[in-house]
Amino acid sequence: MKKTKTYVILSLIILCSCVNSSVIITDLRCEYQNSPINIDEQNPRFTWTYQTHKTRYEQTAYKLDIALSQRDLEEGHFFWTSGKTKGNINRAEYTGNEGLESHTRYYWRVSSWDQNDQTYVSGIQCFETAMIKTSDWCAEWITDKEDKSFGPAPIFRKTFLVEKEVVSAKLYISAASYYLLYLNGEKATDVKLDPGYTHYNKRNLYSTFDISRLLQKGENVVATVLGNGFYNADAPVATWEFEKALWRDRAKMIMEIHVEYTDGTIAIIPTDDTWKTSTGPHVYNNIYSGETYDARKEISGWKLPYFDDSQWSLAVAVDSPSPLLVSQTMQPMRVTREIPAVSMKAFGDTVFVFDLGINLSGVCNIKLKGEEGTKVTLTHGELIKDNGRIEMRNLDIYYNPMEGIKFQTDTYFLKGEGEESFTPEFTYHGFRYVEVRSDKPVQLSKNDLTAHFIHTDLEKTGHFSCSNELLNKIWAATNQSYLSNLHSIPTDCPQREKNGWTADGHIAIDLALLNYDGILFYEKWMDDFIDNQRPEGNISGIVPTSGWGYEDWIGPVWDAALFIIPDAIERYYGDTRIIYKMYNTCEKYLYYLKSREDESGTVTYGIGDWVYYKTQTPTDYTTTCFYYWDNMLMARFAEITGHNSEPYKKKAGELKEFINKKYFNAETWTYANGSQTSQAVALALSIVPEEYEAKVAEKLNKTVVDNNYFLDFGVLGSKYVPRMLSKHGYAETAYRMATQEEAPSWGNWIRLGFTTLAETWVLSPEFRDASINHIFLGDISAWMINTLAGINYDVEHRGFEKIIIKPDYIEDLSWVKGEYKSVKGMIKSEWKREGKKITLEVSIPANTSATIFTDKEIEVGGGSYKFEFDK
């Protein structure tokens, strides 16, 4: 046998001889943000990473110092210090007895010590507090005198004087549901559909902006327009009963401007009943239907300081929609790309169909010329008919049109003054195609329509590519689907539903956190779960909800998001705050499930392997499995938070014994009906007795191979089957499944020309119930990073304190590249094949360690490594 050779090459660069210059503390963040101005958390978190050219750097201790000025920090006059704290955790929390004050800037830095007791000191960062408590607000919520059914959007304005030199100015604003914000005629922010969607009768979010540059000496004016969103949904537009929501009311807002002058004084401009209000060109808006804008109703100059608003009405002060007004620290929604049309087909001079070339979420900007009063509609869809016109049947299924209102359709009435431009502000759509229709002739070219891709603007942290272009396209389509379903909550689809389905969220959590910095986004969504829970302990299938979705047909497999998402955040970030926060909610939910148990001590209701291809896995089996997994995770949560974990361990043990007694055939190594999902779920959730794991995995592999390497599962199988095949030595089988191009497969969607992932493996001939922008079948993207690139966390050292690099060197692939910017720093894994030789290059962040699998296991510290070996 030929002797295997392994070569390790470590690049070491020595910087200049300056003291401690070989280690830099970098990426300092407060509450996972860079220099935030919106902190309302009394115990903010601080994180940092390291850049180093040392062969190995290990933090043995750190010290976090906070002061009220940069000078105080430099001179050692601290507001608070953690003191020297042992450990390699690059995360700290303010735990001082003195509460943080609202509207205050704090300065901070980190000192660290390495294994040689060498000291390193970071640069200085700062953070600012906003409204620490809801009671800090002096402003009032305001609206106008109209009823919630009144279509035109309310507009507001308030003038104020700036008579002295300004040091800084902050603006704090919330609305139910959305706002447009202007200062002295200029848009004050680039955010869209802000603030985030919540249970509006339980919690509202506010945003914070620095508006210093927009103020001017003398008279100033702040102006707003309010949109409805989910707060004021018309009846009976959608099927989810938002028109019946307890919170439903006329759009309203609250705002405070704080102007700090050089003489130390502060002026506050709050919303109250002295503000002026009217209506303008935004004559209708609905989050599902779209927006109607009548340019003939535009009011010239109303956003400027010296406009005469004497004929306008006074605003009406109203009660707060909810008891909580909380800072929105998650990233806002923005236009992240402007996408030009790739083609346009004209059907005469009144109908035009544009193709954007990619499926997305957002709205369009259209440029028009025409007669005054010309009505132009833009209808947005995912498919086109054979005749080139837009196909809406796959989207209209859940839509109940009102008279004169179409689904996913924006309407513009021209004012007839040269070239006009229209971009909706209070809605978003899911689409690739746009059919533009006018009631009078207009002239349009391909260049007259551009799509604005709108989603929550998370930082991209993961990348993958390989020599198989089909996999690259699947990975790109998965990311496009994920972003298209990121609108302050993780949604199922961006067109007909826009709902935060719980299973969609937990099935997609790994692809989410491997590709995007999502901790603040998912912590916000977990707040929605807390607000969603009923007194008896159950939650709904969509979060938030108007009251729809608490029925038994949804059930525990969906509800498992309560446990799986907090666990995932702790796995990826090493941060346990969300577990502490969710503990009571999770505990209350398990009490509820206990009240629903049958005589066997389990629960069996609800959905299971949704959208399966042919073979349906028994739902009583999957529900029981996830009931077991809830208790397993709850036992871990109890240990983390200092509670008694034994009751949950005991219940999990009983359920595991029950599952293996009722559903497992030890002679055939089969769970339930032997479906691909049945085998994979048992393996993934650690239900299989250790002595049978290899046989159950072998049976799973045989089931796939006997099906000619085709998948036969739904949403649960899409996550667990490829992973369990790879984990147990059958990565080549998983790869062959993942690269199929005939239906059912991910590749078939690409072959059909889809740029996002479909909801079902095969579209029905009638195009009914078949969105083609869903994310819940997309974990195959995370599988690529975990399995093909081999980037994984060590389950015993969460938050990527220890890293596992274990690629499956698939024979059909000649190269793979993967990277992930973890909370510890950038991880890279790249391998290529030349004949029998594999070259693997790996980058491991400082202050971590890694186990790297080549032809053997190798333990390394932070650094860059190159391995060559035969495979």
Question: Which tens digit of pLDDT belongs to each residue from 795-834?
Answer: 989 999 999 999 999 999 999 999 999 999 999 999 999 9
**Strand pairing class (670-671; 791-793):** unpaired
pLDDT for the residue 805: 98
Confidence of residue 11 (pLDDT cuts 50, 70, 90): very low
Q: 189, 238, 269: which is closest to 493 by C-alpha?
A: 238
Distances (CA, A) of 749 to 20, 443, 773: 53, 35, 11
Where does residue 275 rank: exposed (0-12), middle (13-18), buried (19+ CB within 10 A)? buried
Planar angle of CA 688, 693, 699, nearest 5 degrees: 105
Q: How far is the C-alpha of 508 from the C-alpha of 778, rounded, in Å?
A: 7
Check whether 107 has a pLDDT greater than 70.
yes
Q: Considering just the CA atoms, what is the radius of gyration of the chain in Å?
A: 28
Q: SS3 of 605, please?
A: coil
Position 647 scores a pLDDT of 98
In angstroms, the CA 292 to CA 726 distance is: 51
Sequence letter at residue 560: A
**Least confident span in 560-564, 689-693, 769-773:** 769-773
Q: What is the mean pLDDT of the chain?
A: 94
534-544 mean pLDDT: 97
Task: With cut-offs at 50, 70 and 90, classify the pLDDT of residue 456.
Answer: very high
Instruction: Give the position of tokens 């497969």.
Output: 745
What string of DSSP letters covers 479-500? HHHHHHTBSSSB-S-TTTT---
**Length in residues, the chain:** 871
Structure tokens at 514: 């491997």
Q: Is residue 13 classed exposed, middle or buried when 0-12, 13-18 and 19+ CB atoms within 10 A define those classes?
A: exposed
DSSP 8-class letter at 115: T
Residue 396: the pLDDT is 79
Query: Which band of pLDDT confidence, cut at 50, 70 and 90, is reported for residue 5?
Result: very low
Of 794, 842, 778, 836, the C-alpha closest to 816 is: 842
| Residue 244 token pair | 């019946």
HEC string of 621-681 equals HHHHHHHHHHHHHHHHHHHHHCCCCHHHHHHHHHHHHHHHHHCEECCCCEECCCCHHHHHH
Per-residue tokens: 104: 């205050």
Q: What is the Cα–Cα distance from 680 to 657, expressed in whole angstroms?
A: 18
The three-state secondary structure class of 118 is coil
Q: For the residues 842-859, what does the mean pLDDT come to?
A: 94
Q: Check residues 672 and 770 and name the one with the higher pLDDT.
A: 672
Pairwise CA distance, residues 805 & 862, whole Å: 13
List of E strands, 691-824? 791-793, 802-805, 815-822
Please say if the pLDDT value at position 623 is more than 80. yes
**Tokens for 34?**
């860079």
Q: From its phi and psi, is residue 418 left (phi > 0), alpha (psi between -120 and 50) or beta?
A: left
Strand duo 351-368 + 429-438: pairing: antiparallel
CA dist., res. 528 & res. 519, Å (int): 14
Between 563 and 53, the higher pLDDT residue: 563
Classify 252 as helix, strand or coil. strand
Write out pLDDT tens, residues 337-366. 999 999 999 999 999 999 999 999 999 999
pLDDT at residue 14 is higher than 60:
no
pLDDT for 239: 75
- In tens, the pLDDT along 202-249 reads 999 999 999 999 999 999 999 999 999 999 998 656 678 898 899 999
pTM: 0.95
SS3 138: coil
**For residues 157 and 267, what is the distance between their CA atoms, to the nearest angstrom?**
18
**298-305: Cβ within 8 A, 24+ apart:** 298/415, 299/155, 302/155, 302/157, 302/223, 302/278, 303/157, 303/182, 303/184, 303/185, 303/221, 303/223, 304/184, 304/185, 304/221, 305/159, 305/184, 305/218, 305/219, 305/220, 305/221
What is the per-residue pLDDT for 234?
83
- Please name which of 721, 702, 723 lies closest in space to residue 712, comparing C-alpha atoms: 721
Output the CA–CA distances (angstroms, integers) from residue 791 to 803, 827, 863, in the order listed. Answer: 7, 8, 15
